């Protein structure tokens, strides 16, 4: 019997990080990468010192309240933690950590990818070529919208939004406007020549491209609803790399169907991995499968962040990325 701490990993992680876990802990990996059930999470909480879930694993109150828990730490692989009921985690005296900072650029890259795909009809063009439907170049074929020199509106202005703003401002000469409940740092505003909007409604009316960067969860659920969508310019595009439930999907489908806005680019969905049928048949929406942080380097760095939090916890040190 080993006296190493017992650690449970819910999904497959990059190989180099799994090797480190094996050398440091009595670890249970999920080599088949099968999504686990609520009962399996409950058993993990009862039998392991630390459980390492990720953004697709749901930890509602019912799971967290399981009796006879051995686990005291949920070391999340991911920056977002809206899949964990944080109020219950607190009540149950479970510490929660996340992986901030290391996925900023890769997620901002995907937001920019979706912005360009939506503006220039990239996914639609790809489908056309593959379907052998392309009739050749002509002056009015698949005309789309410019990106350079237009206005990008960011809802939420944290690390990822600021990274996207830098790419858009310095790479594409975009004017940056943003909405954030608390004031942004002056040096960031100066660097990006960014303008704060007093309300989300004001931003929705002014921007050519709107990119969502607020956390998911109860307080932001359906923040972008039919009323907000109705404020957008008919030529504007909506980009979501934050969380699916920030947008009312049915309202967005209606809005895209009626060509009330020019397009949308989505990396995240309500009820992932299910994607609403109404989105699948529309040409004016570009769809990616939650790829924001999916580069080898970023996913490895996220795993290393979890390792740092585990190491600190088992050494009785302050947790680098404690969120509760
Ligand atoms: C996160 O870490 O919250 C991201 O959504 C994963 O890409």
pLDDT tens track for 237-266: 999 999 999 999 999 999 999 999 999 999
Give mean pLDDT, residues 139-167.
98
Cut 0.75: pTM above it? yes
Taking only the tens place, the pLDDT of each residue in 300-321 is 999 999 999 999 999 999 999 9
Whether the CB of 78 sits within 6 Å of ligand 1 = yes
pLDDT at residue 324 in the model: 87
Q: How far is the CA of 305 from the centre of ligand 1 (A)?
A: 13
Asked if the model's pLDDT at residue 2 lies above 90, the reply is: no
Give mean pLDDT, residues 1-27.
96
DSSP β-ladder status, 263-266 and 285-287:
parallel
Whether the CB of 240 sits within 6 Å of ligand 1 = no
Of ligand 1's listed atoms, the one at least distance from the Cα of 293 is: 7
Whether the CB of 303 sits within 6 Å of ligand 1 = no
Q: For ligand 1, atom 7, name the residue with the nearest CA.
A: 293
**H-type alpha helices, the chain:** 15-24, 38-47, 61-64, 86-91, 104-120, 122-130, 159-166, 172, 186-192, 200-206, 226-230, 249-257, 277-280, 296-314
Taking only the tens place, the pLDDT of each residue in 60-77 is 999 999 999 999 999 999
pLDDT at residue 1 in the model: 64
Cβ atoms of 118 and 237 within 8 Å: the answer is yes
pLDDT at residue 322 in the model: 98
Whether the CB of 79 sits within 6 Å of ligand 1 = yes
Residues belonging to the active site? 243, 272, 290
- How far apart (Å, rounded) are the C-alpha atoms in residues 278 and 288? 15
Q: How far is the CA of 183 from the centre of ligand 1 (A)?
A: 25
Percent of the chain with pLDDT over 70: 100
pLDDT at residue 154 in the model: 98
10, 52, 80, best to mutate for ligand 1 pocket (most atoms within 8 Å of CB): 80
pLDDT at residue 200 in the model: 98
- How far apart (Å, rounded) are the C-alpha atoms in residues 10 and 120? 38
Q: For ligand 1, atom 5, name the residue with the nearest CA.
A: 80
Q: How far is the CA of 78 from the centre of ligand 1 (A)?
A: 5
Q: How far is the CA of 157 from the centre of ligand 1 (A)?
A: 16
Q: For ligand 1, atom 3, name the residue with the nearest CA.
A: 80
Taking only the tens place, the pLDDT of each residue in 95-142 is 999 999 999 999 999 999 999 999 999 999 999 999 999 999 999 999
Q: How far is the CA of 54 from the centre of ligand 1 (A)?
A: 8
């Amino acid at each position: 019997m080993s006296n190493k701490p017992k650690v449970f990993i819910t999904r497959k992680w990059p190989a180099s990080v799994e090797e480190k876990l094996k050398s440091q802990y009595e670890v249970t990996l999920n080599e088949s990468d099968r999504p686990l059930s609520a009962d399996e999470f409950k058993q993990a909480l009862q039998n392991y010192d630390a459980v390492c879930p990720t953004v697709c694993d749901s930890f509602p109150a019912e799971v967290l309240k399981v009796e006879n828990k051995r686990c005291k730490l949920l070391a999340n692989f991911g920056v977002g933690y809206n899949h964990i009921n944080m109020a219950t985690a607190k009540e149950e005296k479970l510490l929660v950590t996340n992986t901030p900072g290391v996925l900023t650029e890769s997620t901002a890259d995907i937001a920019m990818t979706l912005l360009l795909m939506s503006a220039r009809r990239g996914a639609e063009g790809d489908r056309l070529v593959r379907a052998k439907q392309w009739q050749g170049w002509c002056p009015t074929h698949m005309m789309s919208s410019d990106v350079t020199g237009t206005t990008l509106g960011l809802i939420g202005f944290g690390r990822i939004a600021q990274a996207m703003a830098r790419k858009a401002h310095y790479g594409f000469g975009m004017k940056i406007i943003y909405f954030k409940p608390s004031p942004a740092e002056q040096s960031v505003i100066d660097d990006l020549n960014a303008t704060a909007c007093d309300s989300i409604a004001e931003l929705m009316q002014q921007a050519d491209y709107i990119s969502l960067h607020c956390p998911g969860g109860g307080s932001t659920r359906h923040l972008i609803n039919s009323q907000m969508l109705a404020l957008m310019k008919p030529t504007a595009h909506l980009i979501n790399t934050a969380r699916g439930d920030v947008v009312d999907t049915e309202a967005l489908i209606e809005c895209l169907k009626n060509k009330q806005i020019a397009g949308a680019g989505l990396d995240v969905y309500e009820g992932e991995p299910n994607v609403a049928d109404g989105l699948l048949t529309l040409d004016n929406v570009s769809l990616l499968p939650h790829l924001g942080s999916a580069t080898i380097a970023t996913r490895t760095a996220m795993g290393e962040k979890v390792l740092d939090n585990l190491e600190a916890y088992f050494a009785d040190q302050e947790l680098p990325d404690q969120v509760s």
